[in-house]
Amino acid sequence: MSGIYIHIPFCKQACHYCDFHFSTSLKKKDEMVLALAKEIQMRKSEFQNEIVETIYFGGGTPSILQIADLKFLIDEVYRNYKVVENPEITVEANPDDLTEKRIIELSKNKVNRLSIGIQSFFEDDLKLMNRAHNLEEAKKCLEIATQYFDNISIDLIYGVPEMSNEKWLQNIETALSFGVPHISSYALTVEPKTALHSFIQKGIIPQPDDEVAQEHFQILVDKLSENGFIHYELSNFGKEKYFSKNNSSYWLGKKYIGIGPSAHSYDGKNRGWNVSNNSLYIKSIQENKLPIEIETLTKTDRYNEYIMTGLRTIWGVSLHRIEQEFGKTYLDYLNQQAAKFIEDHLLFVDDNILRTTKKGKFLSDGIASDLFLLNL
Ligand code: SF4
């Protein structure tokens, strides 16, 4: 089973913390939709023997497109690929685009999952982040969306400067009050060259505090588990049967094709990434050339990736798989590197699977990097 990711590289305005690829000029929107459709066609041979299980519109802001454009792109996937009977089709959407009319229109299409960028239920946080929506739009869109869609995920950001634990808990409780079955939650990170970075440099906004973020993370984990959510990936919590199939397939190392500027692809051996520039992307596709760079992963790259994703997920790292797929040298190295984290109660082994403890979860990326091997 495999997935198709389609990147919609447009946003109404730039959120202060964001370093994804997008443009706030919509001038090339129609040309882009045609180019995306053409790339879908051009790459069909890559999935000749695959069945598409998930289609995911990410961004940028996919909800900025007309519903007819989304439908056109979904139809293009169906025209060119074998698709399972009930694929998961997700559209990332921002609250300001989700009017009742648009939600109803979306629900009448093949789209069956919404991932809504709420980020916070507090007006001051939304302003600090420079989100295009306000609190009223966030609440209203959730009230309506939950009537038409059963499978909804919302994004929330923690570790925002001056966000108290009480305020963060209130955010989570408000999210829960809408009965959504999936929540993705990330710590606010300060990426270079973002407006947030520059505000922090100038002292306009205080630096997010790692300890506060860690406290928020524990509050999140406890509150969501009390409410029946399964913490299946570091930043993702879902009720049973509501894990994101699209994201799980990345973490489980399945194949995917990434369509659109800056989109990444993976075929089990090679990783590819499209050019992160809308004009260059369109021009290249119009000239029948895929604007993609490809790198073949070494055995060590694949080992490192498995460690990173395994420690972030409930599936953990299978020591048996490490030995089978990578060999005894890799297994010995992993056991040796993991020993100190096991002693510090940050990792544990159960049934030959290496996993993070509750205490180790928040630190899983850092721990993983200590278990990595370098390409020699
Ligand atoms: S809407 Fe999403 S992609 Fe666009 S700027 Fe904001 S965070 Fe980035």
Pocket probe mutation, ligand 1, options 12, 18, 131, 262, max atoms within 8 Å of Cβ: 18
- The pLDDT score that the predictor gives to residue 376 is 52
Q: Does the CB atom of residue 292 touch ligand 1 within 6 A?
A: no
The answer to whether the bond into 60 is cis (omega within 30° of 0) is yes
- Domain 2-251 bears CATH identifier 1.10.3720.10: no
8-state DSSP, 297: P
Please report, in tens digits, the pLDDT of each residue of the chain (376 residues total). Answer: 799 999 999 999 999 999 999 999 999 999 999 999 999 999 999 999 999 999 999 999 999 999 999 999 999 999 999 999 999 999 999 999 999 999 999 999 999 999 999 999 999 999 999 999 999 999 999 999 999 999 999 999 999 998 999 999 999 999 999 999 999 999 999 999 999 999 999 999 999 999 999 999 999 999 999 999 999 999 999 999 999 998 888 888 889 999 999 999 999 899 999 999 999 999 999 999 999 999 999 999 999 999 999 999 999 999 999 999 999 999 999 999 999 999 999 999 999 999 999 999 999 999 999 999 986 5
Crossing angle (nearest 10°) for helices 165-177 and 210-226? 30
Q: Which CATH code of 3.40.50.2300, 2.40.50.140, 1.20.20.10, 1.10.10.920 fits the domain covering 299-371?
A: 1.10.10.920
The answer to whether 373 and 300 are in contact (CB under 8 A) is yes
Give 300-353 as a DSSP string: HHHHHHHHHHHHHBTT-EEHHHIIIII-HHHHHHHHHHHHHHHHTTSEEEETTE
> How many residues in total does the chain contain?
376
Spell out the domain ranges in the chain: 2-251, 299-371
Ligand 1 atom with least separation from CA of 60: 3
Write down the pTM of the prediction: 0.96
